[in-house]
Structures are given as structure tokens and as C-alpha cells.
Structure 1
Amino acid sequence: MTPGPRNLITDVPGLLVGNAQDAVLKSGTTVLTAEEPFAASVHVMGGAPGTRETDLLAPDKTVSRVDAIALSGGSAFGLDACSGVSDALRRRERGFPVGNAIVPIVPGAILFDLLNGGDKNWGDNPYRALGQAAFECASQDFALGTVGAGTGALAAMHKGGLGSASMRMDNGITVGALVAANPLGSVATPGDSHFWAAPFEIGDEFGGLGPDPSSGLGRHPFSRKAEAMRPAAPEQTNTTIAIVATDAALTKPQCHRLSVAAHDGIARAIVPAHTPGDGDLVFGVSTGARTLETDAELGLLGHIASLCLARAIARAIYLATPAEGDLLPCWSELHDID
């Protein structure tokens, strides 16, 4: 198994991703869509999620396919990005038909980036326009790091960001992950150099420094993010939101199992993860282009999704770039990476 040609979630044929951001706002939105509606479900493991239209993704709910998924900064305000995506879809006459009406189905999730130093003194909510802009520019190629929903993200010790990774199985099935990483926990071990996800790195996709040789790691977490945000409550200013996708033909319940398994990737890449102050969630997506030969393959798909997600999280931090007014350093600034 090797990464796809882009090492992006869009290595899954048919998927498209768009980013839109505002440098002054220090926030943005990322949208995943496809050429055709796709099956989707979701699993939440963080204690403070912010979501839209996720109840309908439960395996027993009526709607089986969605038109797009939005990941956004902006906390609760960012959920309006879904409205911008819906507007754009409706103009294209895409959505769930109900009589003569067409209703675009756009689930979404948000992360908290309201205290990251950006200008949040807006008059009109900017996220509707950001959602529409992200959808309109969706393509197979898109940027990572300080873009889209990862623009204002912060991890415990470094600037966060948007990450993605993929894997192509020997049978031709592709799995990919897309993540906006803004966790309470750290993505790097103490000392800043090594990523928790290093055992799962392929090549030098996030520096190639390998695992930390130290032992006893994780016992005494420290957070530059917490110090920078005091006297605010830093335990309430987080969240890692992600999508894992495959072209394997999965039912809605199987998409749910895919999303459950993928959470292992968050736990492998972030320490600590799934805290009461994180809204950690993963959407599971299937375009349905390839048939699974056996039920056992679903377990392997979940494992691969978790590896892709761990790698995507590390890439998000590795590829973050500095901007004026940042509260935290980029990993690359501490290691002289161009």
C-alpha cells in the first residue's frame, strides 16, 4: 500500500475540496464535495462538538446521501458556512428532491478559533460567504497548512492547520483523510521535534525525523496555547474535525464504522485527545465506486483510515506557515523548514 499520487483525500476519485480564508479574520472554511451525492455518517468522541445536520447521518435516519460537508473555524458562527454551500448547490439545482423543491444536504462541523488574535469584530457573519467561496473553488488539488478551516487553528505547542493524506490498497481501493487540527493536546512530543504520529509516517511527508527515542512521554503535558490564552479558559477553545473517505461501496452504517475506527488516528497523533474541551469528530464518506469483496475488508479500511488521519494531523502542523499576530510558533519556524 502506498499514498495516492497527491497524498490528499482527493485521491479518492470523484471527491473535490475547496478552501476559503480571511487573513485578517485568521479563520476560514474548507468544503468537501463530489461530482455526485455520497454516503456519509459521523462519530463524535469529543466533549464539546459544534455541528449542523449530523443527526440525519445516524444509520437509522432517512437521508442516505449528502451533497457536501463543511469544516469551518468560527465556533458556532462558522456553522453558517453550510448555508453558503447550500446556496451554491441550490443554484446548481443539486440536492435532495422533495416534490418540486430541492434541498441541498450539507452537514458541517466547527472548531473554536475566536481567541487566536484575528479581528473578529465583524458586522455580518462572514462564514456564509466563506462557505460559498470554498465550494466554488473545490478541485482535486488544494493547499494544506494555514488555509481553509485550518487558518486560525492552534495546537497545544504549535500553530495548527489543515492536513490531508491518502493510501491506495493493493486491490485498488483508495482511502483518504482531511482534517482541521485545533486540539487541546500536542501533536509533537516534548521538545517540539518529533510527531506523535511518526511511526505511521510514509517517507518524509512531515519531516522524516522518526519517532521520539525518549521513554515516559505524555506524563507532564504543557501547553503554550493555554499560556497564550489566559485568562480565557483554554480548555474550551479547541477541536479536531475530520473527514475520512473511500471509494469502496459502503452503506451508511458501514460509513459510521469507518468514522469510529478513524478516531484511533486522532488518539495516535494528539496527546491528550478526545478531552471534554475538544469537539473531536470524524465524518465517514463513501463514493461507492468499488465493491468490497468480503466483510473483513471493512476492518482493514477502518485501520487504514486511522493511519491516514494520524498522518494528516501531523502534516497539518508541519505545513502551517507564519502570519502576522500569531499567538504560537509554527513547527517549521522552530526547525528552519522552508
Structure 2
Amino acid sequence: MKTGPLNLITDVRGLRVGNAQDSDVKSGVTVVTADASFTASVHVMGGAPGTRETDLLAPDKLVPAVDALFLSGGSAFGLDAGSGVMDGLHAAGRGFAVGNVTVPLVPGAILFDLINGGDKTWDQNPYRALGRAAYNAAGSEFALGSHGAGTGATAAMQKGGLGSASAVLPDGTTVGALVAANPIGSVTTLDTRHFWAAPYEVGEEFGGYGVNPSAHLGDLPDSQKAAAMASSGQPTNTTIAIVATDAPLTKAQCQRIAVAAHDGMARAIVPSHTPFDGDLVFAVSTGDAKTPVDDGALLAIGHAAAVCLSRAIARGIYHATPAINDLLPCWSETL
């Protein structure tokens, strides 16, 4: 599989991504936007999701496109990041026209990182400001690992993080993925070196260690995350992602791509889609949906989206960096 020039979701034509984070809070926000509104849909498979305005992404709903998507830490507090993104879009004159008023449309999703060693004793919810800052920072290049919505993320055996990857199909179509990986499950096998996503790695984008040759890999590890957060009653979780393509897709086709992309999550996180995760995938098209692709092309895009998401999850953990008061080590510290 060939990657795009940046091996990021911003290889998809028109997309920009911005991060903002607070190192004391150990949390942050990631925003995906573009110069023009784009088609999007969503599919939720986790048992504990937290979302904003996702109902309007159903194929039968009126709104044809959105202006931005956000991924945020902070659990329910993090949903306020969408208000900050709306502020930025409103200042830019962006939004859905309703008479002489424009209303920016900003669906989003959150992960639970409230119990991760960060200071959550704020007087004022910080996520609106983080959402505006992430929107203002949006560009073609952005940092992976402990940045944006991945700042305070954790996985079963090590820190989680923000990941991204891209692929260019033989016909020139570009597909990309962006993910904030914070699962209850493990992204590595029992030895913590080998990633579950290893069969899909391109080059050495997350270490090049290959597939674990051991047997009995289906056994669940004793989760370091669960042990570190035992006083809270249960670990804090959820993996939230965006997959995108420059192929022209309808909302219904975007929803089908979101469904297919969940396969990539299941290949990279064991177990995934649990009752304690709010696992969710948005799917985006920046192409002209007046001439949507046929079913054969849709199959190829869905497969690429799943592969990119697996790779992005591993890359997020691979690029995580240590910080003060971390509850878990980074992947690089467990070798």
C-alpha cells in the first residue's frame, strides 16, 4: 500500500487538522475542517459513546454537509469544544444558511481521560477555548502521539495517543484516517513490543517489529490501565476516529465507509467495541457527491479506510511521549 506525501489524513484533498492541548489538565482537542463544507456520516459501535450533533449525519437527515468535526478529551466536559470551533467558524462567516443567518455545523465525539494524572480542578471548563485554539491551528501538518485529543489518552498497557495514516489507491483516490486511541483493550500483544496492527504496517511507521510469532495471542493481558485506575472503579476509555477520502461519496456511502472502518479498529485493539468504550468512526468525503462512486470503488475505499485506521492507531501509541504524573509508560519505555 502506498501512502500519501505526509502519511496523514490531510493528504485527502481539502482537509486541515489542528491540535490544542493543556499539559496541566492532560487533555486536548483535535479539529478537522476544510475551506468548504464536506459530506460526513458516522457509525457508533462502542457501548458508552459521548457525542454532539451526530444525529444530523444520518443519510435521511436534511443537512447535506458539515463545516468541521472535533475529537476531544474531557468526557462530557469535552463536548463544549464544539462551541469553540463554532466560534471560529462563525467569525469566518461559515455555516449552514438559515434565512439571513449562518449556523456552523460541528459534530464531534469525546473520550474519557478525566482520571489520568492531570489536574481537573478547573473553575471554568477549558474545552471551549481548546476547541477554538485547535480550529485556529488547523493546517496540513500536525503532531501525533501526545497531542490534541490524544494528549491524555491511555491503552491497556501503555499511553495512548493521536494517530494518523493515509493511502493512495491505484486509481489515484486518497484515503486517510485520524484517531484518538484511548481503549480499554490493548494495542500490543502480551510482550508489549508487537502491535496488533503489524500486518498492515507500511515501512517502519510504527517501529517495524513485525508480527508477533508467538502462539495463543488471544489471551487477554492483565491490564496495567485497569490496575492504575482501580480506585476509580473502572478504567477510562473510548477510541474515536475520522476516516476520509477525496472520492465523491453520498452521506449513505460515507456511513458505509464508517461501518467498514470499524474493522480496522478491531484489528488494532484487542478487545474493541466493549461495553466500556464509546468507539465511534466518522467518515468524510471532500469529493463532489453529484457523481458518487460505484459499489466496487466503495468496497476498495472501505478496505483502505480500515487499514489506515489500524495503522493510525498504532502510530498514535508509537509516537506518545512521557509527561509529568503519567499513570502509564509510553510504548517506547516498555521495550
Which runs of no fewer than 5 residues in structure 2 stay unpaired? none
Q: Which amino acid aligns with 2:51?
A: T
- Secondary structure of 2:220 counterpart: coil
Aligned to 2:73: 73
Q: Which residue of 1 aligns with 2:267?
A: 268
In structure 1, how many angstroms separate the alpha carbons of the residues matched to 2:143 and 2:56? 30
Q: What CA distance in whole angstroms lies between the structure 2 residues aligned with 1:62 and 1:293?
A: 22
Equivalent position of 2:319 in the other structure: 319
In the TM superposition, 1:85-124 aligns within 5 A as: 85-124=85-124
If the length of structure 2 is used for normalisation, what is the TM-score? 0.98
Partner of 1:285: 284
- 2-structure distance, mates of 1:262, 1:13: 19
Find the aligned partners of 1:293 and 1:34 in 2 and give their Cα distance: 21
Opposite residue 286 of structure 1, the aligned amino acid is S
CA contact (8 A) 1:164 1:313 kept: yes
Q: Which residue of 1 aligns with 2:211?
A: 211
Query: How far apart in 2 are the matches of 1:218 and 1:232?
Result: 27
**Corresponding letter in the other structure for 1:204:** E
Contact 1:153 1:159 in 2 (8 A): yes
Q: Deviations over 1:175-225 (max 9, x none)?
A: 000000000000000011100000000100000000000111122332100
The CA deviation string for residues 227-272 of structure 1, in whole angstroms up to 9 with x for no partner, is 000121224x100000000000000000000000000000000000
CA distance in 2, matches of 1:43, 1:75: 19
Aligned match of 1:16: 16
Q: Given that residues 187 and 314 in structure 2 are in contact (C-alpha distance below 8 angstroms), is that contact kept between their aligned partners in structure 1?
A: yes
The letter for the 1-side match of 2:144 is: L
d(CA) in 2 for partners of 1:220, 1:307: 23
Structure 2: how far apart are the matches of 1:220 and 1:89? 44
**CA–CA distance in 2 between the matches of 1:189 and 1:218?**
9
SS of 1:276's partner is coil
SS at 2:239's partner residue? strand
Q: Secondary structure at the match of 2:246?
A: strand
Residue 182 (structure 2) pairs with residue 182 (structure 1): yes
Q: Which amino acid aligns with 1:105?
A: L
Partner amino acid for 1:7? N
CA positional deviation for 1:31: 0.1
Deviations for 1:9-66, whole angstroms, at most 9, x for unmatched residues?
Answer: 0000100000000000100000000111000000000000000000000111000100
Q: Distance in 2 between matches of 1:233 and 1:28?
A: 24
What is the CA-CA distance between 1:293 and the residue it aligns to? Answer: 5.4
Q: Secondary structure at the match of 1:248?
A: coil
1:141 aligned residue: 141
Match for residue 222 of structure 1? 222
The match for 1:238 is 237
Aligned partners of 2:138, 2:175: CA distance in 1, in Å?
19
Aligned match of 1:48: 48
TM-align CA RMSD = 1.0
2:256 is aligned with 1:257: yes
Query: Contact 2:179 / 2:240 at 8 angstroms: preserved in 1?
Result: yes
**What per-residue deviation string (whole Å, max 9, x for no partner) do you get for residues 273-324 of structure 1?**
0000000000000001596653211011101000000000000000000001
Q: Partners in 1 of 2:293 and 2:308 — Cα distance?
A: 22
Contact kept, 8 Å, 2:181 with 2:240, in 1: the verdict is yes
C-alpha contact 1:225 1:234 (8 A) present in aligned 2: no
Distance 1:6 1:289, change over 3 A: farther
Q: Give distance in 2, aligned partners of 1:98 and 1:292.
A: 27
Aligned equivalents of 1:194 and 1:4: distance in 2?
25
Question: Is the CA contact 1:116–1:327 (under 8 Å) kept in the aligned structure 2?
Answer: yes
- Answer whether contact 2:250 2:292 (CA < 8 A) is retained: no
Q: Hey, what does 1:169 align to over in structure 2?
A: 169
Among all aligned residue pairs of Structure 1 and Structure 2, give the percentage whose two residues are the same amino acid. 69
The amino acid across from 1:210 in the alignment is: G
| Gaps in structure 1 of 5+ consecutive residues | none
Aligned amino acid, residue 207 of structure 1? G
Output the CA distance in 2 between the equivalents of 1:86 and 1:218.
Answer: 44
2:63 corresponds to which residue? Answer: 63
Q: Which residue of 2 aligns with 1:156?
A: 156
Structure 1 distance, partners of 2:22, 2:323, is 12
How far residue 82 of structure 1 moved from its aligned partner, in angstroms, is 0.3
CA contact (8 A) 2:247 2:293 kept: no
Instruction: Report the number of matched residues.
Output: 334
**Equivalents in 1 of 2:82, 2:292: separation in Å?**
32
Instruction: Return the TM-score normalized by structure 1.
Output: 0.97
